[in-house]
Amino acid sequence: MILLAPSILSADFGNLNKDIEMINQSEADWFHVDIMDGVFVPNISFGFPILEALNKKASKFKDVHLMIAHADEYIQTFKKLGADSLTVHYEACLHLNRTIQAIKSEGLKAGVALNPHSNIHLLDDIIEELDLVLIMSVNPGFGGQKFIENTYKKIANTKDLIIQKNSSARIQVDGGVNINNIKKLADTGADVLVAGSAIFNSENPLETIKSFKSLAV
Ligand SMILES: O=C(CO)[C@@H](O)[C@H](O)COP(=O)(O)O
Ligand SMILES: [Co+2]
């Protein structure tokens, strides 16, 4: 089954409970939560108070995408605030194996994200440890950007690597996912699709989620 994870980065923060409730009621599978620190990426999104508010209302799996430096320092806090999985960036972690072990030792699912320029074979020696490989299909930092076409090739290469290494990691694609590319992404081998602006900027987010789910099977 292909999972759909709406990114709350594009939600209405003046009316967050309404958007959380919409996702709770929808056919979406996960909440995707983008944490940006203004250091690793040139943008600051939101921090712990928003996560705390989300945790009170959200009834689905919370998939936290960390676009931050020094992720290790915050693992326990993210767990306390209800994160179910933590995904760190390859490019932001000097001691990636240690970081992944620390996430797993808290009982959380662990993922690694790769920027568009980073080759999947950077994960050769860690993919067996991972629950998730997040392929960025835009440069991280902002919602609403254009999908990078090279992503299809990268998904296929990731799939090959997962099979070769006998890894159980899921392949997640994040950035620029929309009604025009969601089927091809699913057909190419993506297991989890993140979508922010395509859902929240649509006229009827509930219906958009429904059609995304029916296209990505
Ligand atoms: O991690 C990120 C951006 O860095 C994403 O999760 C975005 O939030 C996706 O937004 P859209 O490209 O779907 O609008
Ligand atoms: Co993200």
Would residue 34 show up in a list of annotated catalytic residues for this protein? Answer: yes
What pLDDT, in 10s, does the model give residues 14-65? Answer: 999 999 999 999 999 999 999 999 999 999 999 999 999 999 999 999 999 9
| Full 3-state SS string of 36-52 | EECCCCCCECCCHHHHH
CA distance 102 to 106: 7
Q: pTM of the prediction?
A: 0.98
CA distance 138 to 70: 22
**Catalytic residue of the set 19, 29, 131, 174:** 174
Determine the average pLDDT of the residues in 93-99.
Answer: 98
CA of 197 relative to ligand 1 center, distance in Å: 8
What is the phi/psi pair of residue 136, to 5°?
Answer: -75, 125
Residue 144 assigned ligand-binding role:
yes
Smallest-distance ligand from the CA of 199: 1
Burial class of residue 4 in the structure, from the number of CB atoms within 10 Å of its CB (0-12 exposed, 13-18 middle, 19+ buried):
buried
Whole-number average pLDDT of the chain: 98
Domains of the chain: 3-215 (3.20.20.70)
**Catalytic residue of the set 29, 34, 131, 191:** 34
The pLDDT assigned to 39 comes to 98
pLDDT band (50, 70, 90) for residue 189: very high
Q: Which residues line ligand 1 (CB under 6 A)?
A: 7, 9-10, 32, 34, 65, 138, 140-145, 174-177, 194-198
The pLDDT assigned to 185 comes to 98
Question: What ipTM was assigned to the predicted interfaces of this complex?
Answer: 0.99
The pLDDT assigned to 86 comes to 99
CA distance 185 to 172: 10
Closest approach atom of ligand 1 to CA 178 = 13
Task: Give nearest CA residue, ligand 1 atom 7.
Answer: 143
pLDDT band (50, 70, 90) for residue 114: very high
The pLDDT assigned to 122 comes to 98
